[in-house]
């Protein structure tokens, strides 16, 4: 998988970024920090923490359930006037995310619950090879000054 060309800004995106990562655990915090910096730089520092957590959970799911050795996973971050989208693409289309109750003592199993709590909508897109899991959260519209309205 390689970085895709960014969609044209005329398609409704104010900002767009994509990064591909090797399937290794040290890339989860890299992706999380990258998304947080982007969101803050794009004028929504108040949403950076939640965006970082969503990115971390989606990337962790991709690493644990969707990655293949020597195949990259991709994180796309985009912003429109009212929504921030984080999308993670991995090569295993047959392994779909499933929310299920976690045992109280279980170390894993709460990622999608966290994502569902933080975002307004999320879904899975099936691809010819692999899948994309995306999540969107509403962000305040930007004022003329370029700052988010409080």
pLDDT for the residue 13: 84
Q: What is the pLDDT of residue 102?
A: 67
pLDDT of residue 49: 96
Neighbour-count burial of 129, counting CB atoms closer than 10 A to its CB (0-12 exposed, 13-18 middle, 19+ buried): exposed
What gap in Å lies between CA 73 and CA 65, rounded to an integer? Answer: 12
Q: What is the pLDDT of residue 20?
A: 96
Q: What is the value of pTM for the model shown?
A: 0.82
Q: What is the DSSP letter of 144?
A: T
Q: What is the pLDDT of residues 66-118, one digit of tens each?
A: 777 788 999 999 999 899 999 999 988 776 776 666 677 766 666 777 888 89
Q: pLDDT band at 3, cuts 50/70/90?
A: very low
Please give the angle made by the CA atoms of 74, 79 and 80, to the nearest 5 degrees: 140
């Amino acid at each position: 998988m390689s970085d895709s060309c960014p969609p044209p800004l005329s398609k409704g995106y104010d900002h767009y970024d994509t990064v591909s990562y090797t399937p290794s655990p040290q890339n989860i915090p890299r992706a999380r920090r990258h998304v947080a910096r982007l969101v803050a730089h794009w004028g929504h520092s108040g949403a950076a923490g939640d965006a970082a957590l969503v990115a971390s959970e989606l990337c962790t799911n991709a690493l644990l359930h969707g990655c293949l050795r020597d195949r990259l996973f991709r994180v796309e971050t985009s912003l429109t006037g009212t929504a921030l989208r984080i999308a993670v693409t991995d090569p295993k289309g047959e392994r779909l995310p499933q929310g299920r109750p976690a045992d109280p003592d279980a170390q894993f199993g709460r990622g999608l619950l966290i994502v569902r709590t933080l975002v307004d909508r999320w879904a899975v897109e099936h691809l010819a090879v692999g899948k994309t899991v995306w999540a969107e959260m509403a962000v305040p519209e930007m004022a003329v000054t370029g700052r988010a309205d409080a």
